[in-house]
Amino acid sequence: MTDELLVVRCQLGEREAFAELVGVWNDPVWAYVRRMIGPSQADDVAQEVWLAVVRGLPRLREPGRFAPWLFTIARRAVANRLREEYGRPEVLVEEERASADPADGLVDRAELLTGLSELPVREREILVLFHLEDLSLEDCAEVCAIPVGTVKSRLSRARRMLRDHLTEKGHPR
């Protein structure tokens, strides 16, 4: 059953459809939250996310766009928890140009999982959304409320930071 059909059934008021929706998306949401803020608070924040989803579902105008909407809510919940860290200014992100980075090819899932927790929040977030949650560049842009070009540049920077970090830790390049 597609996400859109599940969402439409939820909007109609079918409780069992909501249980199915949670069954499908709880693990990705929990994984995203855990990678962003650690396991100790993940349950609480994931619950906040689903509560916001319940309250917002009747107003979701594009049921087919459920995934980016869901991660937008999850991102907001995570940001609330990380507000102090989020307050830091972002340097040169908008100006940085998307470019073919030789480091891009080095990033694989295992490396990501190894080094992710050491990265700053913004870089960690974009890697999780793009590589681990398999969101498209457009969906990442929607979730993070930034242009697609900025997503590309942020991804590029995040991969480079991850590569540098893993290299420092003695991983082969």
Partner 1 sequence: MNPDDLIGKLSGPLSLRSRIGNVVALLGGLGGALFIGLLWATEPALPGRTHLAFGVLVALGLAWAGYGVWALTRRTPLFALDRVIAAWLAVVATGLLTAGTIAVAVARGTWVSTAGVLVAVTLAVLAVVILIRARAARAALLRRKGELGG
Instruction: Report the interface residues with partner 1, using CB under 8 A.
Output: 1-2, 4-5, 8-13, 15, 18-19, 22-23, 26, 30, 43, 46-47, 50-51, 54-58, 63
Q: Which is nearer to partner 1, 19 or 145 (CB)?
A: 19
- Other C-beta atoms closer than 10 Å to the C-beta of 136 total 14
Cβ 51 to partner 1 shortest distance, Å: 6
Q: Which is nearer to partner 1, 4 or 90 (CB)?
A: 4
Cβ 2 to partner 1 shortest distance, Å: 6
Cβ 57 to partner 1 shortest distance, Å: 7
Cβ 111 to partner 1 shortest distance, Å: 28
Q: Which is nearer to partner 1, 3 or 96 (CB)?
A: 3
Q: Which is nearer to partner 1, 6 or 126 (CB)?
A: 6
